[in-house]
Copies of this chain bind each other. A is one copy, B any other.
Amino acid sequence: MSETVLLVYEDREYLVETGEEFGTDLGVLSVPEGIEPGESLETHLGTEFHVRALRGPDLFHHLERTGAPMIPRDIGLVIGETGVSQGDRILDAGTGTGVLAATMARAGASVLTYERDPEFAAVARENMSLAGVSKSVTVRTGNLLEELDSIEERFDVLTLDTGDAPAIVEHAPELLVDGGFVAVYSPFIESTRAVVEAARAVSLSDVRTRETIQREMDFDDRGSRPSTAPVGHTGYLTVGRNE
């Protein structure tokens, strides 16, 4: 379905669009249209790369970054708590690298996402192409807050990773269908509080903020225990529902 594939040889991984030709230190790879995951491909110097389908967590490593992208765990939490699925219409602000938008699109949603920085927006568009979701994700250059008047559609989910999230949340009831969710990702407690207050002010229901702490477990010959090197704080996730 996707026209993007991963080409893998030992530790080397390239995310490429089919039909392209590109150089590696092991020789040139010509990637034919129609090549399928499971097949192989040789460079002109004879090194064999395996063709692999792109999966969501690969986006985190292979998209061009314009900031720290959301990690797979936090993307999963957004999807799990809001139920992003096929046919959903999603409004997103603070595109950044676009990993969240691309992952939601890969789950069958159509996404309209706003990025204020024109250069970041251009990179995000390129990333959507690499992720094979150009048709499902529209990256608009601009500030969603200023564009609200021009939006007449209703969305199933509103996802925000932007400093002006509180002001946008105030409009959630007009932007969301009945039963739709808003999910806001914010690193600081002050901005998180502002989001919660905005959500309460417009009477969203089930407004909850959660901090997620993960501990990686170590299993070795001596025994089992939490790692001494846990995953740090990424952000608070606030979810509310329009009902």
Q: Which of A17-25, A82-90, A112-120, A138-146 contacts B (4 or more CB under 8 A)?
A: A82-90
The answer to whether B208 touches A216 (Cβ under 8 A) is: yes
A197 vs B234: C-alpha distance when bound (angstroms): 23
Residues of B within 8 A of A156 (CB): 53, 55
The answer to whether A57 touches B81 (Cβ under 8 A) is: yes
The answer to whether A108 touches B79 (Cβ under 8 A) is: no
A217 and B236 in contact (CB under 8 A), knowing A6-B179, A55-B83? yes
A94 vs B219: C-alpha distance when bound (angstroms): 24
Query: Does residue A135 face the partner (Cβ distance < 8 Å to B)?
Result: no
8 Å CB contacts to B: which residues of A159-216?
A: 177-181, 187-193, 196-197, 208-216
A81 and B73 in contact (CB under 8 A), knowing A52-B178, A227-B232, A227-B233? yes
The majority secondary structure among interface residues of chain A is: mixed
A82 and B107 in contact (CB under 8 A), knowing A77-B76, A215-B233, A233-B228? no
Chain B, Cβ-Cβ closest to A196: B219
A209 vs B80: C-alpha distance when bound (angstroms): 19
Query: Does residue A150 face the partner (Cβ distance < 8 Å to B)?
Result: no
Residues of A within 8 A of B (CB-CB), count: 74
Chain B, Cβ-Cβ closest to A108: B108
Query: Does residue A103 face the partner (Cβ distance < 8 Å to B)?
Result: yes
25 residue pairs A–B, Cβ–Cβ below 8 Å:
A8-B179, A53-B179, A55-B82, A55-B83, A55-B180, A56-B79, A56-B83, A57-B82, A73-B210, A75-B80, A77-B80, A80-B80, A83-B106, A85-B108, A86-B107, A107-B108, A188-B223, A189-B223, A191-B223, A210-B216, A212-B214, A213-B214, A215-B233, A225-B233, A226-B233
